[in-house]
Structure 1
Amino acid sequence: MTASTDSSLFTRYVTNRHRLPLRTRIIATYGAVVLLHLLAAGLLLSALAPGVRPLSIGIVVAAYVAGLKHSYDWDHISAIDNSTRKLVADGMSPASVGFAFSLGHSLVVTLAGIMVVGGAQFISGAFEEGNPVNHVLGLIGAAVSGFYLLILGLYNGGTATRLIRRLRRHESTAEAGHTHHLSDENWGLVSRILRKPISKIERPRDIFVIGFLFGLGFDTATTVGLLVLTVSASLAGVPPLALIGLPIAFTAAMTLCDTTNGLGMMKLYSTATEKSERRLRFNAVITSISALSALFISIITLGGFFNELFSLTDPVTTWLAEIDLGNAGLALVALFVAVWLWFYFSGRTTRGEQA
């Protein structure tokens, strides 16, 4: 088989991947995550060659844990959840939204790490507070994440409002002894306005670019970039490949968590779109949570963006710029799990009483 044939097969796979069975796509996605782990391990093991000073286990663990931690930042969770909601609403079962977003996001870290190890000294300045490069890239990352989440939040907010109104109409007609169709086909005013920009998100791979632009704020790159700089400066004799293994380990950890989150939300939203009164109520609740989380984080992000861009000193944007959400993403995940468990067990209780 020639190289051109291999390339053609790969192109066809990427183009038609969404048509493969869901099980196959899930296996392929997690297979890619495993390959990232193996690549990171292989690069890090190169530091164990005879006569070479090895990397500290603590440094390797720190890089991996940094990836795990960052995957649960609120902007990650909100971007993945709301993007998944949009694709599921389009009739898809997107298995790799989280993976694509995380891979694009962490690509910034990997590229910065490679350039640092390769001796590109100007990269070190990009991590310093107040540096023009840091300032510009930070503004780009904040603008993209803020406006993207704002658009998705408004879009899903319009959907949630429509679902709540439909649910109320259904309940009122049911009380009157009539039936009401529970489909989700009509577009509300907000959805109509935002339909065109949102239509650009057609496949999970489209989220890759969004993830990359999110990462330009150097919120992820700072963690591992400074780590790579420290290691390259302090551990003479450590091979460059081992140093590059640090951002790859960061990427492997982040893709593992984001992939799992994306698949969980895909299952959650797919379940919610089944046509029944109970499923409609469930759909309205989780869509409302997704929309509110996106709008909440977009307001904070854009407040900080405008404060930095125009050097504002007003109390509102200054306060927004100083907000640190910390591990709020974990709270959002916990909220989704709690809602799902509540509906699941309440449904079983209802069925038990009917039996």
Structure 2
Amino acid sequence: MAPRDETVTMGERPASPPPLQHAALSSTDPALPADEEDRPGFFGNVSYKAALYHERVPGVRKLPFPAVAVIIALIAVNVIVWAAVGVILHFHGALISTAVLSYTLGLRHALDADHISAIDLMTRRLIAAGQKPVTVGMFFSLGHSTIVIITSIVVAGTASAVSSRFDDFSRVGGIIGTSVSAAFLILLGLMNIYILYRLVRQLQRIIASGPDEEQQFSFQGAGVLFNILQKAFRLIDRPWKMYPLGVLFGLGFDTSSEIALIGIASIQATKGTSMWLILIFPVLFTAGMCLLDTTDGALMMSLYTSTSLARDRIAILYYSIVLTVITVMVAVVIGVIQMLNLILNVAEPSGSFWDGVEVAGDHYDIIGGSICASFIVLGGLSVLVYRPWRRRVDRMRESRSRLSDDSSDSDSGVDQS
């Protein structure tokens, strides 16, 4: 038989090979049944359709799909938690403001410098190892909140048992607990003032440098625990290993948010609130903290793996300063109110000033709502002020850079002459 002519003339398309018949292949290979191998499962279909929708959204498609997926999943979890809590609060309306405050404290606590520093450091480290650590913040937050939940249960149970059996001991314990809480909050406020000073100085150094100059950047607002546990980061090579590190961070109780939540649990227990109702507060705290920590980790992963986005040091320092200012205000205000109420209950002074202190102590829920409102107001103002402030800073840095270039050119001209 003569061999077949394989040449193809100009303009003629070569014959394509016949399509692969999956059914025929499956009939000869029992390991590949057509019904199971060719048909994706339910979660596969959902993931595929979600990825297609993700590519169609202009602003969202700049972020990796896993980052968007984990953020949406945490938002759904928060909605479910609030739906369940809403049913319970329908029968216990007096706890609504306290529940909102607990959730807000969780959101606020997720933005502490220790959290941001730990998540940022481990995200960069795991990316350098070739991973896509989208769940670093989630596991860290879950480990951290484990200690918060356990401690809230222990404190609430102890306070309830003591107050119901030993009135005198309850009074002494209340004095000791309030003293420790107030002193700790005021001390944290003073420590955060120093942290605020360091953040401002670092921002000033970066602004004073030119736009093209590289300055060494680090979260100088990181707390004591971050420096102590920094060696533990070397043992973490998977995102889930952030859980035990979060537990270690939770053992420190070095932030006003945690102390305030434990105080809420103790106060509600002494009022006779059921243990199951008190569990609402740490659960809401956990939901809020986990949402923002997960979002933080996912966005950092997107930032460090993106070629179009650059790390804006000025913006990070700006918002770190805003959050530290809020921390100082909350810690000092709550600490001073607790200390004044302690003096009022023990020494029983009189006067219009102490009448005001008594009113503030009786309306602690209003103070909590005011704190929530201050978060929103200060956060909104900081966003509105940032853009005009940033434009002015950029113009100042560019003009300084041009003056420096002109002076260097003139100096080189003098040297050549």
> Where on the TM-score scale, by shorter chain, does this alignment land: which range?
0.5 to 0.7
SS at match of 1:204: helix
Report the Cα offset of residue 142 of structure 1: 2.8
Amino acid at match of 2:162: F
Considering only aligned residues, what root-mean-square deviation do their CA atoms show, in Å? 5.5
Percent identity over the alignment is: 8
Residues 171-218 of structure 1: CA deviation (Å, up to 9, x unaligned): xxx5xxxx311440597xxx7xx8766513554333423179615863
Aligned with residue 282 of structure 1, among 306, 315, 322: 315
Task: Tell me, in whole angstroms, the C-alpha distance in 2 between the residues paired with 1:270 and 1:249.
Answer: 31
Secondary structure of the structure 1 residue equivalent to 2:228: coil
| 1:78-157 alignment runs, 5 A limit | 78-82=108-112, 83-88=114-119, 90-92=121-123, 94-95=137-138, 99=142, 103-112=146-155, 114=157, 121-124=161-164, 131-157=171-197
| Corresponding residue to 1:204 among 246, 257, 268 | 246
Partner of 1:291: 324
Q: Is the contact made by 1:37 and 1:249 (CA closer than 8 Å) also made in structure 2? A: no
The alpha-carbon deviation at position 81 of structure 1 amounts to: 1.8
Using the alignment, how far apart are the partners of 1:337 and 1:263 within structure 2? 22
TM-score w.r.t. length of structure 2:
0.48
Aligned to 1:260: 291
Q: Say if 1:68 and 1:254, in contact at 8 Å, map to a contact too.
A: no
Q: Indicate conservation of the 8 Å contact 1:67/1:252, yes or no.
A: no
Q: Aligned-pair distance for 1:77?
A: 5.2
Partner SS for 2:276: helix
Counterparts of 2:310 and 2:357 in 1: how far apart (Å)?
Answer: 39
Q: Paired residue for 2:375? A: 332
2:109–2:289: 8 Å Cα contact kept in structure 1? no
Distance of aligned partners of 1:296 and 1:69 in 2 relative to their CA distance in 1, 3 Å threshold: closer
Residue 162 and residue 123 in structure 1: after superposition, are their counterparts in 2 closer, same or farther (change >3 A)?
A: same
Q: Is the 8 A contact 1:72 1:329 kept in 2?
A: yes
Q: Which has the larger radius of gyration?
A: 2
TM-score (norm 1): 0.55
For CA contacts below 8 A with separation 6 or more, give which structure has more relative contact order. 1
What corresponds to 2:204 in structure 1? 164
Structure 2, unmatched stretches of 5+, are 1-65, 124-135, 231-244, 391-417
Once residues 245 and 136 of structure 1 are traced to their aligned partners in structure 2, the CA distance between those partners, rounded to angstroms, is: 26
- Deviation for aligned residue 1:345: 12
Q: What's the counterpart of residue 66 of structure 1? A: 98
One-letter amino acid of the structure 1 residue matched with residue 213 of structure 2: H
C-alpha displacement at 1:162, in angstroms? 0.5
Aligned equivalent of 1:15: none
User: Is there any run of 5+ residues in structure 1 with no aligned partner, and where?
Assistant: 1-20, 45-54, 229-242, 348-355
CA contact (8 A) 2:99 2:284 kept: yes
